[in-house]
Amino acid sequence: MDAADISQDLTRVLFTKEQVAQRIAEIAAEIDEEYAGKDLLIIGVLNGAVMVVADLLRAMKVHCEMDWMAISSYGSGTQSSGVVRILKDLNTDIHGRHVLVVEDIIDTGLTLSYLVSNLRSREPASLEIMTLLRKPEAAENAVDVKWVGFDIPNEFVVGYGLDYAGRYRNLADIGLLAPHVYS
Ligand code: PRP
């Protein structure tokens, strides 16, 4: 679906699908340069990062493998609780591998903070982060993020993998959710 299909649920479109594709292409080119000649493993964080991983990998020219983790913060709604648990671990041993974690959004940064320390303990050769979106509060849980698609305001965003109560992930654009939907 496009933003026009659910315009009553959105305050406005933050990024069109064309803007997202353009930014992902730019980052893919930088990733190609960074990992040229290296054995790269992409780790996508389910569920939100599915779209980013799918589009980023197809925009990249270097070879890579793909694996997935599912991490959940307890609770639901629009706030991160800060307590995380692994719902699905990797199938791959990352010891000695060049690892790039791909996220859809860093909000408080708590999920990523946990994930990075967990993955570092498995002793990868390198560990970098790419996120499509980052909110201001992420600075409070400073994790070194190598590639950020867009820094965004502290508002509730949906689309391109990002959900509210499980919906809107299949919105092709990224939009600000209208308060009447979640209040
Ligand atoms: C989202 C997102 C990140 C996390 C960021 O996942 O994909 O993993 O929240 O929030 P934080 O920086 O405040 O920790 P969510 O738990 O909503 O699961 P989902 O990807 O399945 O939507």
pLDDT tens digits for the chain (183 residues)?
Answer: 999 999 999 999 999 999 999 999 999 999 999 999 999 999 999 999 999 999 999 999 999 999 999 998 765 555 555 668 899 999 999 999 999 999 999 998 988 998 999 999 999 999 999 999 999 887 777 789 999 999 999 999 999 999 999 999 999 999 999 999 998
Indicate if 93 belongs to the active site.
Answer: no
Q: How far apart are the first and last CA of the chain?
A: 23
Strand partners, 134: 106, 151
- What would the two tokens of residue 176 be? 């600000």
The DSSP bridge pattern shows strands 40-46 and 64-73 to be parallel
C-alpha of residue 168 to centroid of ligand 1, in Å = 14
Query: b vs e for 43-56, b when ≥16 Cβ sit within 10 Å of the residue's Cβ?
Result: bbbbbbbbbbbebb
Cα–Cα distance for residue pair 21/7, rounded to 1 Å = 21
Question: Shortest CA distance to 107 belongs to which of 166, 68, 152, 75?
Answer: 152
Q: What ligand 1 atom has the least distance to the C-alpha of 113?
A: 14
The answer, yes or no, to whether any atom of ligand 1 lies below 6 A from the CB of 45, is: yes
> Which residue has the CA at smallest separation from atom 7 of ligand 1?
48
Among candidate residues 9, 55, 104, 107, the one labeled active-site is 107
Q: Is the CB of 113 under 6 A from ligand 1?
A: no
The structure's pTM equals: 0.93
Region label for 19, one of left (φ > 0), alpha (ψ between -120 and 50) or beta (otherwise): alpha
Query: How many angstroms is it from 46 CA to the middle of ligand 1?
Result: 8
Give dist(CA 53, CA 172) in Å, integer: 14
- Using alpha carbons, select from 129, 149, 131, 137 the residue that is nearest to residue 15: 149
The whole-angstrom separation of Cα 121 and Cα 95 is: 9
